[in-house]
């Protein structure tokens, strides 16, 4: 089983890559689909983890713009990792 420390390390690496690749976007906000891809755990396990992180204040609800299948930018619910 993957530990919380390993999950946070994978997210930190992804944030660094995003900062380099897309400097004009918020690198700290992820949709659940993006987090599933980065971390490699199931959607159900991710949601349980996010609930705990929301309660502890490590994550905040956010909104990002992502391109839909039709090519239109749409507001999408996301989670922003709090940076101290």
Three-class DSSP labels, 36-65: HHHHCCCHHHHHHHHHHHHHHCCEEEEEEE
* Global pTM exceeds 0.85: no
pLDDT tens sequence across 31-57: 999 889 888 889 998 899 899 989 999
Which residue range(s) make up the domain with 16?
4-81
CATH assignment at residue 69: 1.10.10
pLDDT tens sequence across 51-69: 998 999 989 999 988 889 9
Query: Residue 63 contacts by C-beta under 8 Å, 6 or more apart in sequence?
Result: 75, 76, 77, 78
Name the domain count of the chain: 1
């Amino acid at each position: 089983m993957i530990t919380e420390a390993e999950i946070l390390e994978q997210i930190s690496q992804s944030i660094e890559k995003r900062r380099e690749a897309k400097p004009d976007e918020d690198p700290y906000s992820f949709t659940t689909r993006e987090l599933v891809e980065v971390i490699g755990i199931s959607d159900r396990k991710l949601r349980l983890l996010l609930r705990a992180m929301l309660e502890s204040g490590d994550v905040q609800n956010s909104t990002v713009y992502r391109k839909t299948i039709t090519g239109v930018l749409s507001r999408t619910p996301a989670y922003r990792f709090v940076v101290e």
